[in-house]
Amino acid sequence: MENILLDVRGLKTYFHISLGVVRAVDGVNLCVSKGEAVGLVGESGCGKTMTAHSIMKLVPSPPGFIEEGEIWFRNTDLLRLGEQEMRKFRGREVSMVFQDPMTYLNPVMKVGKQIAEVLVSPTRDRTVIKLLESVGIPDPLKVADQYPHELSGGMRQRVLIAIAMANDPPLLIADEPTTALDVTIQAQILDLIKTIKTEKGTSLLLITHDLGIVAEMCDRVYVMYAGKIVESGDVFSIFEEPLHPYAQGLLRSSLSIAEFRENLETIEGTVPNLLDPPSGCRFHPRCPMAMSVCKEKEPSLIQEKPGHEVSCWLYEKDGRDRNHS
């Protein structure tokens, strides 16, 4: 257990809007061990970003509130820390990179200064250049003296990674870090993250809708659907034998994985509105395997194989019996 760095338990993050309550994250459990790369995968709107923002305590509030749960980082429950303590925590213990670096970077401050601002180290100027070098920026002296808008998307993402890694945090959360980039640049940024992970032993929580990226980067994966974790396990067993019909659908519809398969399929329908999610198993309106029990009762997360958990009535003895009765 002492190997566990991040342990999220029963996390619920809701948005209170005029139409009602959006259950964006609805009872999520997940953990990341030291040096481990963990994927969080699911279609857009499933609650991945809000899970990450909850961990960083960056949920826009109001209307968003963490309603329940615990977020343990080593021996500290982050939900018990005040904002001042959280500020020290962010960047030193956990850092985050985002899909769009421009929303994070200050448009009117030169890149070098933005990196220097987050550094705790006294030898700032030298460290800034070293950091830019370490994220593969070819002309660090020049880039340090530029504004974010003067850089390409890929370079901006490198700068954001430099800022995230400035104080060597043990955990990096990357939320769709390459989604906005074209394919070649995407591969370069993923390579960079991989190198950082190998060289520094940084743990990684990688959020993506792309199972191909998970296959390439991660040791373990959580599949998220409509605010809940529906399957988790090591990458090998989930790719070899996905258990949840949603995970099976994701795999069949993954472009990068379909290259190796006969045909590409899509999952019919869309992610439900989390204001009023479907009863029972939230996937039932889209599930080709749905049974009568699926509409009525929510399946629990059960361990189907060592380290491989799934939440689906197909794997609950009780569910199969009921359906046949």
Ligand X SMILES: Nc1ncnc2c1ncn2[C@@H]1O[C@H](COP(=O)(O)OP(=O)(O)O)[C@@H](O)[C@H]1O
- The residues of the shown chain that bind ligand X, judged by CB under 6 A, are 15, 17, 22, 24, 42, 44-50, 60, 63-64, 274
- Binding to ligand SF4 by residue 284, rule CB under 6 A? yes
Residues found near Mg ion in the complex (CB under 5 A): 49
Given 49, 170, 290, 309, the residue binding ligand SF4 (CB under 6 A): 290
> DSSP secondary-structure letter at 63?
T
| Separation CA 280–CA 296 (nearest Å) | 5
Binders of ligand SF4 in range 199-258 (CB under 6 A): 244-245
| Closer residue to ligand SF4, CB minimum distance, 177 or 233 | 233
Residues in the chain: 325
Q: Are the beta carbons of 205 and 174 closer than 8 angstroms? A: yes
> Across the chain, which distance is largest between two alpha carbons, in Å?
72
Residue 131 interacts with which of ligand SF4, Mg ion, ligand X, none, CB < 5 to 8 Å by class: none
Stretch that binds ligand SF4, among 88-96, 138-146, 205-213, 287-295 (CB under 6 A): 287-295
Q: Give the other-Cβ count within 10 Å of 223's Cβ.
A: 27
- Binding to ligand SF4 by residue 299, rule CB under 6 A? yes
**ω before 63 within 30° of 0 (cis)?**
yes
In 3D, which of 11, 27, 12 has the Cα closest to residue 230? 27
| Separation CA 323–CA 53 (nearest Å) | 39
| Closer residue to ligand SF4, CB minimum distance, 169 or 280 | 280
| Separation CA 100–CA 187 (nearest Å) | 16
- Binding to ligand SF4 by residue 313, rule CB under 6 A? yes
Given 131, 229, 283, 304, the residue binding ligand SF4 (CB under 6 A): 283
Question: Footprint of ligand SF4 on this chain (CB under 6 A)?
Answer: 244-245, 281, 283-284, 287, 289-291, 294, 299, 312-314
